[in-house]
Each structure stands twice: as C-alpha cells, then as structure tokens.
Amino acid sequence: GVPFPHGDRRRRLSLEKLNCRIHFALNCGAKSCPPVWKFTSVGIHQELHIVAQAFCESDDNVRL
C-alpha cells in the first residue's frame, strides 16, 4: 500500500506497486553499489533486468 496517509502531499508521488528491481538502480557510489546507469522511460523494464542480472552475475555480490 501507499506509505502516506490521506491528505499528505507526498502520497500523489508514491507508488502503489513497487518494482523490487529498483534497488539495482539506486547508487550511493560505494564499491558494492551497482554501476551508474542512465535509465529511460521507454526501456526501463529491460534496463532494470540488465542491471539486476549484471549485479547477480558478479562474484563480489552473489555467492553460492
């Protein structure tokens, strides 16, 4: 659900359904963060898939 109560101006900017792949797009500049990537509105789904897959394929990020 939406994290803000009715009447809160931030509510109109929040998403009702989150895409968990957004975590692969966020970057704080740390070594463990995914590389900086320019996302587009047209290709966002494919672009998020690419960065998520690249993160998971790195031995530094995922170990079995």
* Dihedral sign (CA 30, 34, 40, 45): negative
Q: What is the mean pLDDT of residues 38-62?
A: 88
- Residue 49 is predicted with a pLDDT of 93
Looking at every residue in the chain, the average pLDDT score rounds to: 83
Q: What confidence category does residue 2 fall into, taking pLDDT thresholds of 50, 70 and 90?
A: low
Among the residues of the chain, which ranges form H helices?
A: 44-57
pTM over 0.75: no
Q: What is the mean pLDDT of residues 9-31?
A: 81
Residue 32 has pLDDT above 90, yes or no: no
